[in-house]
C-alpha cells in the first residue's frame, strides 16, 4: 500500500513541476524523458524542503520498479490496478519547448501526444 502511494505521489508530482529544463529538444525518447522527470522530481522535492532520506526513498521506488519508459509505467500500472476498475492515468511532462501527454489505462498506453510551445503561441507571453 505504501509503495503504491509513493508511486502515485511520484507520478502526480508532474502536475506541479516547473523545474528548469534539462533539454530543449521536443523529440527526446521515452527513456530520456523518464530520466529527466526523475531529476525534476528530485529537484522539486528538495526545493519544497523534503528531507534527503525521504527523497531517496521516493526515488528508489521509481528505480526499483524500473520506471524508465512509457511501456514500463504502463506495465506497472497493469500490475497495480485491474483493467476492469475503469482507471485512467494522464501523465504530463513539460521540458524545454514541449508539453508531452500520455494517457494510460492499466497495462495499456492509450495515447501519446506532444504539444510544442513557442513564445508566440503562449498565452502568458502574449499578456506581457
- pLDDT tops 50 at residue 55: yes
Instruction: Count CB atoms within 10 A of the CB of residue 74.
Output: 19
Query: C-alpha distances in angstroms, 128 versus 98, 108, 120, 124, 125?
Result: 21, 41, 11, 7, 6
Q: What is the pLDDT of residue 30?
A: 67
Q: What is the mean pLDDT of the chain?
A: 77
* Structural domain total, the chain: 1
Give the mean model confidence (pLDDT) for residues 64-75: 91
The CA angle 128-91-32, to the nearest 5 degrees, is 90
- Where in the sequence is the domain holding 54, given as residue range(s)? 2-126
Amino acid at each position: 500500500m505504501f509503495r503504491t502511494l509513493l508511486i502515485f505521489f511520484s507520478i502526480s508530482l508532474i502536475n506541479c513541476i516547473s523545474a528548469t529544463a534539462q533539454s530543449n529538444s521536443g523529440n527526446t525518447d521515452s527513456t530520456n524523458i523518464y530520466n529527466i522527470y526523475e531529476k525534476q522530481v528530485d529537484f522539486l522535492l528538495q526545493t519544497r524542503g523534503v528531507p534527503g532520506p525521504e527523497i531517496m526513498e521516493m526515488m528508489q521506488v521509481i528505480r526499483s520498479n524500473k520506471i524508465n519508459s512509457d511501456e514500463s509505467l504502463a506495465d506497472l500500472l497493469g500490475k497495480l490496478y485491474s483493467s476492469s476498475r475503469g482507471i485512467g492515468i494522464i501523465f504530463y511532462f513539460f521540458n524545454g519547448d514541449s508539453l508531452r501527454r500520455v494517457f494510460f489505462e492499466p497495462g495499456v498506453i492509450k495515447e501519446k501526444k506532444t504539444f510544442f510551445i513557442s513564445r508566440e503561441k503562449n498565452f502568458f507571453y502574449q499578456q506581457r
